[in-house]
Amino acid sequence: MYALILYTTVQRLGGQEEATYLEDALRMAGFEVIKLEWHSTDQLSTFFEYKLRPIADNCSLLMVCLMSHGSRGSVIGNDMKKRPVNDILPHLNELLLKFIPLVRIVCIVYTCM
């Protein structure tokens, strides 16, 4: 079981601390955790591909936690650009089928302003 925690600190002074609390909780629940700070919404696709490839052979469950401020179904990166979560999910699902075909459950968590 893996958890990918992607957090940003734009307008979130406690973003890194929140990600660390989440990381600790997921580790206690038995997850292998990968935690990264993202800066621009364009980085998200790269992070997904870069981090999914190495775990593909050992992954049976993947939880993706996308931590960001946002509004109306969008997340905001440090570059202040908004990106709809509905634009992120299809790309993530495509990569899952490519790298980890047995994974069917993904959880995206994000916070809004």
pTM, entire model: 0.77
Is 15 within a domain? Answer: no
Segment 1-30, tens digit of pLDDT: 888 888 887 767 788 888 999 999 999 999
pLDDT of residue 113: 45
Is 10 within a domain? Answer: no
Provide the residue range defining the domain that includes 55.
Answer: 22-109
Is 5 within a domain? Answer: no
Is 51 within a domain? Answer: yes
Is 104 within a domain? Answer: yes
Is 1 within a domain? Answer: no
Is 14 within a domain? Answer: no
Q: Which residues on adjacent β-strands are paired with residue 109?
A: 65
Closest alpha carbon to 11 in 64, 71, 85:
71
Segment 43-72, tens digit of pLDDT: 777 777 777 777 777 777 778 888 877 777
What's the number of domains the chain is made of? Answer: 1
Distance from the first to the final alpha carbon of the chain: 30
Is 45 within a domain? Answer: yes
User: How far, in Å, CA of 110 to CA of 22, rounded?
Assistant: 13
